[in-house]
Structure 1
Amino acid sequence: MSKLLNVAILVFPACQALDVTGPAAVFEAGNFVLGSAYYKVHILAAKSGAIQTNSAVRLMARSISDLSPHSVDTLLIAGGSVSGLESMVADDRVRKWVVLASRTARRYGSVCTGTFALAHFGLLDGKRVATHWSACADLAAQWPNADVDKQSLFVNVGRLWTSAGVTTGIDMSLDMVASDLGNAVANGVAKRLVLYARRPGYQSQFSPVLSAQSQADAPFAALVLWMRENLSKQLDVPRLAEKVYMSERTFVRHFIKSIGETPARFVETLRLDEARSLFATSMSIKEIAARTGYATGAQLSKAFNRRFGMSPQLFRELHCYRERE
């Protein structure tokens, strides 16, 4: 490719470091996996110089005036502290630059609470968007014209991309790379960054494991993790009760009190959540069924349809990228 695609990441004092470095690492790794320069990443701020993030990391940023807004292919605004965001959106130069860039960029968006900056600049009206779970209520209250998705890791509507924040900026950027260069390159990036898995945007900000562990009493927190790692095995009440040295009756009573679901319902939740992730891969339904503890693909399809109201085939068509030719 003769001309590099400019990826501009807008930062401000007390921004979230990983909102910046995560996407930047993904695009740079894309260049490495592709074997040639495709993206050029720019860290920009209202003025050039060192930017102190909300951690010990300091970033060296260039001024927005150093890069024409019309040359931007991908624009992302990082999230971070409320005071830092307010200072940035109050700067007329930043507002004008972002609005101009968003008009001509192939795509634009935000990571975490950077969504608030897009809202201040009038770029969210009528759009479905994501932001950090802790800020969803505030965003919806302040900007009622935006459709705030409180669940998804990231949301893509046309040219607009928004993510829930922190590590989800990596997931969103990987999806951008997949749409640009194909799943093979995106998977190579994920492997290079030693990611556990590529997470599609429709996944919830809180996995069933994380949600359960956050409220589980001992010894159920450890049991939940073991269940997640052994989905292909028989996970009935006798075996689970044995793992925590309880009688079956006592186990069921304490499990429901701790987790909020019956053991059978929670096992199905874990299995279908894992299956939903695997549908983003090239694995067959039969293979996914075996990995998630279903005897046949038909059993998995029936359970999936009952829980989500659609077949695995339709789910793949609606949500998952196909490998590029």
Structure 2
Amino acid sequence: MAMKPTEPVEPVPGAPYADEPRLAAAPMGARRLVVMLAFEGARLLDVTGPLEVFSAAARLGGRYEIQVRTPDGRDITTTAGTRLSSDGPGTAADPPSLHTLLVPGAEELTQGRFPPGLLDAVRALAARAHRTASVCAGAFALAEAGLLDGRRATTHWRHTATLAARHPTLSVDPDAIYVRDERLYTSAGVSAGIDLSLALVEADEGPDLAREVARDLVVFMQRPGGQSQFSVPARTPRPRHDALRALLDEIAADPAADHSLAALATRAGLSGRHLTRLFREHTGATPAAYVDAVRLEAAQAFLANGETATVTARRTGIGSDESLRRLFLRRLGVTPSAYRARFRTTTR
């Protein structure tokens, strides 16, 4: 049964997913209608990942009703060859309203090829949805339908440059797991749709249910939207310079070691000025900024696994609790304690 959209309330500062709007609870007995708009050639995990999150939430007490719709109401076949049945056409007058519209991705969307009727269905359903979200290349459908004009968005890292070039009014974040701009959400590649869906469940039903869902699906952790799609070492091209390559490996292997400019330059047998030039050329950052980024990621992992701020600061080389707090606020916009709270139950 379709439901009347709820009204948003202000997020609680420092709460888990504090950057997400906390939606008002659904009226007693009402259910939030979630519609997945699938289409011929959609990527299977883009469809099933979010649906598993919302169906698990419903099974565990969340008030969700789930439908899979297609542009013309016909059954479709995904990229994996799996056939999915449709609950109806996306352009139908019913439901008169829905809570969440989800749009999956497909490689052909990144090439500007949209299945017949898809964009009309996106516009029709989004006009009646409380919020609209895309998974991976589904952002291209939202953008082509005109929903993302002048907004922030993200997509799979392979396609962020294409999305930005094709839709110059967009502000594309090439690194985020997911991005929210008012009631529009876009997420990165494939599994990021699960992260986004967990965040949406938490916004609706609170952190306890979201963490129960994460445990049920054996998801190690709920990644916040601003977290990078890749770790610092993984997204840094391997430098051709032997000494610099060795330094990057040392920093990744032991973030807590002495990685001051003087120490790095001595180990590399280079002057500080020369080493700084090499870092800028090959990593796009100064040595200090690169080390801070690696230590921040290490600190995130320690906190997610339940370590205290004091232990985390010491084991990552950040130093003091206050230094850790400043780094988290500057780079992530949350305190270490708020970040740790996000994972307190999912990692048990």
Q: Work out whether residues 10 and 45 of structure 1, in 8 Å CA contact, stay in contact via their aligned partners in 2.
A: yes
Residue in structure 2 matched with residue 71 of structure 1 by the alignment: 97
Matched, 1:2 2:29: yes
SS in structure 1 opposite 2:134? strand
Q: Deviations over 1:232-256 (max 9, x none)?
A: xx5347xxxxxxxxx9558xx99x8
SS in structure 1 opposite 2:41? coil
Matched, 1:46 2:71: yes
SS in structure 2 opposite 1:70? coil
SS in structure 2 opposite 1:106? strand
TM-score (structure 1 length as normaliser): 0.74
Greater share of helix residues, 1 or 2?
Answer: 1
Distance change in 2, residues 1:315/1:164 (3 Å): farther
Distance change in 2, residues 1:98/1:194 (3 Å): same
Matched, 1:275 2:299: yes
Distance change in 2, residues 1:135/1:262 (3 Å): closer
- In the alignment, which of 167, 184, 203 is matched to residue 143 of structure 1? 167
Q: Which whole-Å CA distance do the structure 2 matches of 1:132 and 1:287 have between them?
A: 35
The one-letter code sitting in structure 2 at the alignment partner of 1:86 is R
Q: Which whole-Å CA distance do the structure 2 matches of 1:274 and 1:150 have between them?
A: 21
Quote how far apart the aligned CAs of 1:138 are: 2.1
Q: Deviations over 1:256-298 (max 9, x none)?
A: 89x8589876553222124357778997643543564444202
The one-letter code sitting in structure 2 at the alignment partner of 1:2 is G
Higher alpha-carbon deviation: 6-15 or 100-109: 100-109
The one-letter code sitting in structure 1 at the alignment partner of 2:57 is G
SS in structure 1 opposite 2:211? helix
- In the alignment, which of 231, 238, 257 is matched to residue 215 of structure 1? 238
Residue in structure 1 matched with residue 134 of structure 2 by the alignment: 110
Q: Which whole-Å CA distance do the structure 1 matches of 2:32 and 2:327 have between them?
A: 43
Q: Work out whether residues 114 and 141 of structure 2, in 8 Å CA contact, stay in contact via their aligned partners in 1.
A: no
RMSD value, Cα: 4.3
Quote how far apart the aligned CAs of 1:9 are: 1.0
The one-letter code sitting in structure 2 at the alignment partner of 1:71 is S
- In the alignment, which of 192, 200, 218 is matched to residue 224 of structure 2? 200
The one-letter code sitting in structure 2 at the alignment partner of 1:125 is D
- In the alignment, which of 186, 201, 206 is matched to residue 210 of structure 2? 186
SS in structure 2 opposite 1:62? coil
Quote how far apart the aligned CAs of 1:99 are: 2.3
Q: Which whole-Å CA distance do the structure 2 matches of 1:45 and 1:31 have between them?
A: 22
Matched, 1:235 2:239: no
SS in structure 1 opposite 2:113? helix
Quote how far apart the aligned CAs of 1:226 are: 9.8
Quote how far apart the aligned CAs of 1:25 are: 1.0
The one-letter code sitting in structure 1 at the alignment partner of 2:137 is T
Residue in structure 2 matched with residue 31 of structure 1 by the alignment: 58
Q: Which whole-Å CA distance do the structure 2 matches of 1:139 and 1:267 have between them?
A: 31
Q: Work out whether residues 12 and 85 of structure 1, in 8 Å CA contact, stay in contact via their aligned partners in 2.
A: no
Q: Which whole-Å CA distance do the structure 2 matches of 1:282 and 1:70 have between them?
A: 45
Aligned length: 304
Q: Work out whether residues 279 and 312 of structure 1, in 8 Å CA contact, stay in contact via their aligned partners in 2.
A: no
Distance change in 2, residues 1:284/1:311 (3 Å): farther
Q: Deviations over 1:177-233 (max 9, x none)?
A: 111111122122222222222111111222214225x63799x99x989976876xx
Q: Which whole-Å CA distance do the structure 1 matches of 2:49 and 2:324 have between them?
A: 35
Quote how far apart the aligned CAs of 1:148 are: 1.6
Q: Which whole-Å CA distance do the structure 2 matches of 1:211 and 1:105 have between them?
A: 36
Q: Work out whether residues 115 and 162 of structure 1, in 8 Å CA contact, stay in contact via their aligned partners in 2.
A: yes
The one-letter code sitting in structure 2 at the alignment partner of 1:195 is V
- In the alignment, which of 149, 152, 157 is matched to residue 133 of structure 1? 157
Residue in structure 2 matched with residue 299 of structure 1 by the alignment: 323
Higher alpha-carbon deviation: 139-148 or 275-284: 275-284
Distance change in 2, residues 1:69/1:279 (3 Å): farther
SS in structure 1 opposite 2:163? helix
Higher alpha-carbon deviation: 158-167 or 56-65: 56-65
Percentage of pairs with the same residue:
33
Q: Deviations over 1:282-315 (max 9, x none)?
A: 976435435644442023235557x74x875499
Quote how far apart the aligned CAs of 1:71 are: 3.0
Residue in structure 2 matched with residue 243 of structure 1 by the alignment: none
Distance change in 2, residues 1:157/1:284 (3 Å): farther
SS in structure 2 opposite 1:151? coil
Q: Which whole-Å CA distance do the structure 2 matches of 1:199 and 1:172 have between them?
A: 9
Q: Which whole-Å CA distance do the structure 2 matches of 1:15 and 1:263 have between them?
A: 42
